[in-house]
Structure 1
Amino acid sequence: MSDQKVKIDVLTLDSVQCAACGYMMESIAAMPPDVQEMIEYKEWSIKTKSGIGKFLELNGKVLPTICIEGDLVFESIIPQYEELIDELAKRAPTPEMSERIKSLRDVGFDFDNIKANLQKAGSGLNTRAD
């Protein structure tokens, strides 16, 4: 399989201190392992200069927002599993990857690896500790 991945940016206030932002990050982090292999995602907190830059670059309007391949897809709406799969498949870099993602539509969320997946995405790293 190609090393191409579907790029996801999650624009947040802060996924630790904002419940809706945390749920947005968890919706991506709870994707099953087969989907995790095909995606790359990162949290962009507007509490940081880089997060503000990404918000402006993507023309963000509201928080939290899931952007897939640069498209604002879920703006203040926490997606259901099937909705997320459908949008990932639409934006997959190859037809083969799109079909593979669609084939996982009935699998459902995998909540066993959320913590590790959130750490991989840098979720909560921009929370103030002072």
Structure 2
Amino acid sequence: MADQKITIDVLTLDSVQCAACGYMMESIAALPTDVQEMIEYKEWSIKNKDSVAKFIELKGRVLPTICIEGDLVFESIIPQYEELIDEMAKRAPSEAMKERILSLRDVGFEFDKLQDNLAKAGSGLSTRVDSERK
């Protein structure tokens, strides 16, 4: 289970200049450390050529959107903590991970590592038309 992760893609206009997009990224980045260990996420700013391709691949319709395991889950709706947990649990790759995620349902957001987690996800780094994700 250690190497199984839930993939979360956040489709944005730009999490630095768009408030709603920033809140979407922060909702993922503020998840507790125990949840962070079970997920892999990144921002896909529509200002970037690679991100346009991701938007099309995921069949995005609106910005911002949180996709969990390729499913458009939160389209222009900034989720509450419990909603995020429930949707991740539905898409967990194993029953053990699902139970572990649900056991963290009452923990709530942790904002003390927010900036570190945003940096880890590359939030705000690929917002220029000529930029490339690495």
Which TM-score band applies after superposition, normalised by the shorter structure? over 0.9
1:50 & 1:127 partners in 2: Cα distance? 11
1:49 is matched with 49
Alignment of 1:96-111 (within 5 A): 96-111=96-111
- Say whether 1:77 aligns with 2:77: yes
User: Shift in Å at residue 2 of structure 1?
Assistant: 2.6
Segments of structure 1 that go 5 or more residues without pairing to the other structure are none
User: Shift in Å at residue 21 of structure 1?
Assistant: 0.2
2:13 is matched with 13
The normalised TM-score by structure 2 is 0.94
2:113 alignment partner, SS class: helix
**Which one-letter code corresponds to 1:3 in the other structure?**
D
Q: Deviations over 1:57-106 (max 9, x none)?
A: 00000000000000000000000000000000000000000000000000
Q: 8 Å contact 2:32–2:110 — kept in the other structure?
A: yes
State the Cα RMSD in Å.
Answer: 0.7
Aligned residues, how many? 128
Q: 8 Å contact 2:46–2:127 — kept in the other structure?
A: no
2:106 & 2:61 partners in 1: Cα distance? 32
1:2 is matched with 2
**Which one-letter code corresponds to 1:15 in the other structure?**
S
2:132 is matched with none
User: Shift in Å at residue 126 of structure 1?
Assistant: 1.8
Q: Deviations over 1:11-65 (max 9, x none)?
A: 0000000000000000000000000000000000010111100000000000000
2:43 & 2:50 partners in 1: Cα distance? 11
1:111 & 1:14 partners in 2: Cα distance? 21
2:112 & 2:70 partners in 1: Cα distance? 28
| Matched-pair identity in % | 80
The normalised TM-score by structure 1 is 0.97
Segments of structure 2 that go 5 or more residues without pairing to the other structure are 129-134
User: Shift in Å at residue 107 of structure 1?
Assistant: 0.2
Alignment of 1:16-35 (within 5 A): 16-35=16-35
Moved over 6 A (4+): none
1:39 is matched with 39
1:91 & 1:108 partners in 2: Cα distance? 19
1:127 & 1:3 partners in 2: Cα distance? 30
